Amino acid sequence: MDKIDLSGHFYNPTKGNLLAEEVISEIIEYIKERPEMFYDIIVGCDSSSGEDPCFPVVVAVLRKGEGGRFFLKKIKYPTSKRFLNWKNRILQEVLLSCDLALLLREDFHKEMEKIDDGSLQYQFRYIHADINEHGDTASMVKELTGLIIGNGFEPKIKPEAYIASVVADRYS
């Protein structure tokens, strides 16, 4: 499977198109606006159905109890790469989420080390997967949650996987 390409832009409804470095800066600025609050940084992905899907992968920063902001990157593969099996498409969603989370978390922590004296409260811990224990994806839950855990994150599945099943879904 392909690694995520961080070149190009992420979309934010307020700020427009941003580079990956600008996404990290925006997340940090959002946290600094209200440093007394607790923040979750979460990644999730969905995809459109069919052989030639679009994969909107989202990174969101949530201010506990007060909403948040999200940044979205649409991944589209060349027509030579087909997803004939829906299970491969679901697997690709999780792989893209893990890749993005790993790349952003590393850069995010480097930037936070420069400014955080230990008083900022945040975690970059969860990946939301658009799967659940009932229905078509039930047979994939153990495998995909294991993949997320193996990449150093904690999985959330539906109904708790709202970044994938609501935010990313809106753009698939």
Tokens 């080390």, located at residue:
113
Cβ atoms within 10 Å, residue 6: 16
pLDDT digits (tens, 9 = 90+) for 39-95: 999 999 999 987 788 999 999 999 999 999 999 999 988 877 778 888 999 999 999
Tokens 């198109």 sit on residue: 17
Q: Domain-by-domain residue ranges, the chain?
A: 10-170
> Is the distance from CB of 12 to CB of 4 less than 8 angstroms?
no
Residues comprising the chain, all counted: 172
> Is-above-0.75 flag for pTM?
yes
Q: What is the CA radius of gyration of the chain?
A: 16
